[in-house]
Amino acid sequence: MKPIIDSHAHIDFPEFDNDRDALFLQMRSVGIENVLIPGVSADKWQRQIQVAKQYDCYYALGVHPWYSESASTENMSDLRGILKLRKGDCRLVAVGECGLDKLHKSNFTTQLNLFKEHIHIAMEFDLPLIMHVVKAHEEVIKCLRTESPHRKGVIHGFYGGPQLAQQYVNLGYKLGIGGLLLNDNAPKLQQTVAQLPLESFILETDSPAMTPKSSQNNRNTPLILPEIIKKMANLQKKSAVRISEQTFFNVSQLFDL
């Protein structure tokens, strides 16, 4: 089996402070070779860089839409500064997570301006985008069409149906598929995974969030990835080996790993 990469895990969060060493050992013993740690807010960037260095992980820097109201113009110039400084850092592979979330109380115009700023930064530094999109697909698709970032990116934690998925795929974007797929009340997502070409997907868990309903734990970890692969294999009517090979290829290609 090809190694597995979790393209979205907040492994820098304090939820993992007590057993991060053990978790990485366990992950690597079952073939989960690496994780990509997405950025959330400026105050967490240094800790993220430190964890990524210590465990030899990939990372991305950005401001999640939930934190858009507390993000300052200095944060964005700091982001440019760090990206310039770390131009040769092969672990820094994307800008994000960033995006739009209509279920969150943050002012939508503020979110939109910050999202566009992230797209511009991704274009300046020749990096792909990691996007968080909730109930704002029309606006995100419009931004991506207008700005047309050349390295494209991923819609992480994708939950939509095949039609919406196809719109992103037609624009050159990947869909991040995670623990939601294991919940039986996500029929639209299951249709998407069954119908779209395997080239459209990368794997993720969004750990420690998004714990599958079937799980006994209240913390999600990358260790659920083999279960997601198995479910994808069933829906795609392909072998688990084929799923892991293609998704490994997809993630490597998108982030130039």
Element of type H or E holding 175: strand 174-177
Choose among 199, 205, 203: nearest CA to 166.
Answer: 199
Closest to Zn ion by CB, 20 vs 238, is 20
Strand partners, 32: 4
Cβ nearer to Zn ion, comparing 118 with 236: 118
Specify the residue, 203 or 236, whose C-beta has the smaller distance to Zn ion. 203
Instruction: Give the interface size with Zn ion as a residue count (CB under 5 A).
Output: 1
CA neighbor of 224 nearest in space, from 205, 209, 206, 238? 205
The reply, when asked if residue 137 is annotated as ligand binding, is no
CB of 64 to Zn ion, least distance (A): 7
What x/- string results for residues 148 through 187 when contact with Zn ion is judged by CB under 5 A? ----------------------------------------
132 known member of a binding site: yes
* Least distance to Zn ion, CB of residue 225, Å: 15
Question: Least Å distance between CB 69 and Zn ion?
Answer: 18
Check the annotation: does 184 bind a ligand.
Answer: no
Least Å distance, CB 68 to Zn ion, is: 14
Is 206 annotated to bind a ligand? Reply is yes
CA separation for the pair 221, 201 (Å, rounded): 19
**Is the C-alpha dihedral spanning 106, 112, 115, 120 positive or negative?**
negative
Contact letters (x/-) for Zn ion, 56-85, by CB under 5 A?
------------------------------
* Closest approach of Zn ion to the CB of residue 130, in Å: 8
Contacts 24+ apart (CB under 8 A), 110-118: 110/68, 110/69, 111/65, 111/68, 112/139, 112/143, 114/63, 114/65, 114/68, 114/71, 114/76, 115/65, 115/140, 115/143, 116/143, 116/147, 117/76, 118/62, 118/63
d(CA 136, CA 121) in angstroms, rounded, equals 21
- For Zn ion, give the closer residue by CB, 137 or 238: 137
From residue 195 to residue 214, what is the string marking binding to Zn ion with x (rule CB under 5 A)?
-----------x--------
Question: Whose Cβ is closer to Zn ion: residue 101's or residue 206's?
Answer: 206
- Specify the residue, 52 or 236, whose C-beta has the smaller distance to Zn ion: 52
Alpha-helical (H) ranges within the chain are 20-29, 45-55, 73-85, 108-124, 137-147, 162-170, 187-195, 225-236, 240-255
Residue closest to Zn ion when measured from CB atoms: 206
Least distance in angstroms from the C-beta of 228 to Zn ion: 16
How many other CB atoms sit within 10 Å of the CB of residue 206? Answer: 22
Is 156 annotated in a binding site? The answer is yes
215 alpha-carbon distance from chain centroid: 21
Which amino acids are annotated as binding site for a divalent metal cation, given as ranges? Answer: 8, 10, 97, 132, 156, 206
Which residues contact Zn ion (rule: CB under 5 A)? Answer: 206
Point out the annotated binding site: 8, 10, 97, 132, 156, 206
